[in-house]
């Protein structure tokens, strides 16, 4: 694009470089030798490069099926979609195609639907969770939109099916087989922990959000029926407590999670106190009030370790507290 707009023979002109630099997302270096003009440009951040590459690939997708560029992008989406070099570009493509649809540049959404068909045409994956995460990043770039009036019924169905598929993965992750202990070495656990924090829209889709709340409430019911000995000795319950920190995605989920930690705080105070501190950055004022009160109550506990730990954690979360909370 730069080479087309600013030919090599003119690139040494200072005014041209000033215009290139004014773009912000691409920078150039002025040539010191007018007899050998330089046309080198670079990106101040890799994200700019990835987005521009995605923009180019989207243009190739709209070209004639017989063009070389179109064939290349089809091959990438079908056969190389999980190649690391395309891990950012492909979701960017999805977002650009989605914007083309809602801005009525492509009112039928044919480009986005074609994009999804190509992704789904890839060979079967030995480990399908990686492909599912790619699909979720692409869906997130489309704002997890399943009911847009601009969408064709095919496109709405495509997005809805993706949401339902991801729900099953979430449930499988949360309710693992109790004979297979929940380890950091488990691939599903690692992948979920890596990707969930990066989703801006998918986890807030009404179906997925409600599903997550329902699963947390199942934990809450289980915690009501166990005693201290069982909680500490059964690694399954401890793993569930640890997992909850990744599900603080909204006020509603955080409310239930704080209550879960409060339920078992006295039985497993060290772990719960640490986890409450971890999620404190995601809590609202009322939820922080509950956590502070729990820690303050711990200050008068007869157990010296509990007293000391609660004091340390109050100090640790103090930067997130307002003046009223600090004066408690």
DSSP per-residue codes, 188-205 = HHHHHHHHGGG-SSGGGS
Cβ neighbours of 318 (radius 10 Å) = 11
> Over the stretch 58-78, which tens digit does the pLDDT of each residue have?
999 999 888 999 999 999 999
Q: How many helices (H) and strands (E) does the chain have?
A: 17, 2
Instruction: List all residues 6 or more positions away from 136 whose beta carbon is below 8 Å from its beta carbon.
Output: 162, 166, 195, 199, 202
In this model, does residue 324 exceed pLDDT 90?
A: no
| Domain assignments of the chain as residue spans, ordered by start | 43-204, 205-327
Q: What is the dihedral of CA 187, 190, 192, 197, to 10 degrees?
A: -160
Contact 76/86 with Cβ under 8 angstroms? yes
d(CA 237, CA 242): 9
Q: What is the pLDDT of residue 6?
A: 43
Instruction: List all residues 6 or more positions away from 94 whose beta carbon is below 8 Å from its beta carbon.
Output: 112, 115, 137, 138, 139, 141, 142
In this model, does residue 37 exceed pLDDT 70?
A: no
> Over the stretch 78-131, which tens digit does the pLDDT of each residue have?
999 999 999 999 999 999 999 999 999 999 899 999 999 999 999 888 889 999
Q: What is the pTM of this model?
A: 0.82
Mean pLDDT of 148-169: 94
Tokens in use for 53?
């590459």
Confidence of residue 323 (pLDDT cuts 50, 70, 90): confident
């Amino acid at each position: 694009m730069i080479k087309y707009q600013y030919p090599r023979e003119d690139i040494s002109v200072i005014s041209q470089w000033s215009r290139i630099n004014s773009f912000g997302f691409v920078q150039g270096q002025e040539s010191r030798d007018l007899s050998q003009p330089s046309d080198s440009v670079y990106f101040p951040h890799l994200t700019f490069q990835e987005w521009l590459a995605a923009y180019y690939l989207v243009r190739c997708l709209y070209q004639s099926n017989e063009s070389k560029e179109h064939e290349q992008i089809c091959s990438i989406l079908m056969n190389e979609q999980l190649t690391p070099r395309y891990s950012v570009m492909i979701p960017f493509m999805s977002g650009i195609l989605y914007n083309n649809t809602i801005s009525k540049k492509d009112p039928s959404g044919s480009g986005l639907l074609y994009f999804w068909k190509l992704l789904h045409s890839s060979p079967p994956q030995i480990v399908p969770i990686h492909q599912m995460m790619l699909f979720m990043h692409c869906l997130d770039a489309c704002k997890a939109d399943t009911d847009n009036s601009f969408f064709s019924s095919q496109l709405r169905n495509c997005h809805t099916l993706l949401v339902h598929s991801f729900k099953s993965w979430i449930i499988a992750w949360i309710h693992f087989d109790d004979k297979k202990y929940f380890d950091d070495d488990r691939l599903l656990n690692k992948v979920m922990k890596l990707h969930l924090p990066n989703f801006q829209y998918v986890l807030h889709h009404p179906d997925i959000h409600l599903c997550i709340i329902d699963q947390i409430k199942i934990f809450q019911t289980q915690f009501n029926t166990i005693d201290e000995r069982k909680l500490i000795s059964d690694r399954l319950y401890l793993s569930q407590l640890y997992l909850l920190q990744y599900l603080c995605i909204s006020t509603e989920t955080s409310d239930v999670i704080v209550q879960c930690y409060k339920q078992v705080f006295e039985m497993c105070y060290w772990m719960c106190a640490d986890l409450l501190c971890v999620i404190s950055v995601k809590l609202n004022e009322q939820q922080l009030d509950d956590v502070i009160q729990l820690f303050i109550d711990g200050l008068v506990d007869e157990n010296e370790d509990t007293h000391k730990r609660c004091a340390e954690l109050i100090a640790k979360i103090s930067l997130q507290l307002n003046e009223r909370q600090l004066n408690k």
